[in-house]
């Protein structure tokens, strides 16, 4: 591991769950971090694997917590999924299990809903996941639909406890059909390349900040970015030891980035 000169970095890609907030609680040091990004005129993007919310909803969520972050600073696995499908099969149809973020992104990409003979079955985080919907998805995949997952995260930090995420919801469909899903969110390099393009930033000048080794750190590492693992979310020093790769830096939270940039850490 080595120290990062944060002052010299031009762009920051940050995960949200476990980095910026837990549920509806802003994490310590976050207001100072966002203030520092704005004051230093850094390019930044909040990149979340959660497909449930639209960028506007995420902007409003942070506003309710007292943080003013414009809508263009958010990019989600739902947008990455819709962009991928539009590039692969323009005008295709899908059977989608997900929340407003995923459904809106698909509609905006001119993708139609179809629960009879869709081209794809698309799974995101969903409050309406049930035996009926999973049975429908399984039989559509067995009937020839291709299986897409918004992201491969199997769990996410909730306010009170850990909650199942998209990868865990896709797993029963994979097992029942013998079909492997293609996941569009982190650590898929397509999502990271889009993030860097939105930042107008080269990977060498960018930092990936996240709380997960298996999505955030690996995606930053494989994209040629410096990586910061924060211990404010799902990872601990113990879980980190199970991986064969390392982040550039390990910090308690994003507030430490500001302190490191000012030479206080």
The yes-or-no verdict on residue 162 having pLDDT over 90 is no
Q: Please give the pLDDT value at position 67.
A: 95
Catalytic-labelled residue, pool 15, 119, 153, 216: 15
Q: In the predicted model, what is the mean pLDDT of residues 221-247?
A: 93
Q: Please give the pLDDT value at position 185.
A: 95
Does the annotation count 15 as an active-site position?
yes
Cα–Cα distance between 48 and 15 in angstroms, integer? Answer: 5
The pTM (predicted TM-score) of the whole model is 0.91
Q: Which residue has better confidence, 74 or 164?
A: 74
Cα–Cα distance between 81 and 50 in angstroms, integer? Answer: 12
Catalytic-labelled residue, pool 5, 17, 108, 117: 17
Helix 77-88 crosses helix 189-199 at what angle (to 10 degrees)? 110
Does the annotation count 115 as an active-site position?
no
DSSP per-residue string spanning 156-170:
EE-SSSEEE-HHHHH
pLDDT digits over 176-191, tens only? Answer: 999 999 999 999 989 9
């Amino acid at each position: 591991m080595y120290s990062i000169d944060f002052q010299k970095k031009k762009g920051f890609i940050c995960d949200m769950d476990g980095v910026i907030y837990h549920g509806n609680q802003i994490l310590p040091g976050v207001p100072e971090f966002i203030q520092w990004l704005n004051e230093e005129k850094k390019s930044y993007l909040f990149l979340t694997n959660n497909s449930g919310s639209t960028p506007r909803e995420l902007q409003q969520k942070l506003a309710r917590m007292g943080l003013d972050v414009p809508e263009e600073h958010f990019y989600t696995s739902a947008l990455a999924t819709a962009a991928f499908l539009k590039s692969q099969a323009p005008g295709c149809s899908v059977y989608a299990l997900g929340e407003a973020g995923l459904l809106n992104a698909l509609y905006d990409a001119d993708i139609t809903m179809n629960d009879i003979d869709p081209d794809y079955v698309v799974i995101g985080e969903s409050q309406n996941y049930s035996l009926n919907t999973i049975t429908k998805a399984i039989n559509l995949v067995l009937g020839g639909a291709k299986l897409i997952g918004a992201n491969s995260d199997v769990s996410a930090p909730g306010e009170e406890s850990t909650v199942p995420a998209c990868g865990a919801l896709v797993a029963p469909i994979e097992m029942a059909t013998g079909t492997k899903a293609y996941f569009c969110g982190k650590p898929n390099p397509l999502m990271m390349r889009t993030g860097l393009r939105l930042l107008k930033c080269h990977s060498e000048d960018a930092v990936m900040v996240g709380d997960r080794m298996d999505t955030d750190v690996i995606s930053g590492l494989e994209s040629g970015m410096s990586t910061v693992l924060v211990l404010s979310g799902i990872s601990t020093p113990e879980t980190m030891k199970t991986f064969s790769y390392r982040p550039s830096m390990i910090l308690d939270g994003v507030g430490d980035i500001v302190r490191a940039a000012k030479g206080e850490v």
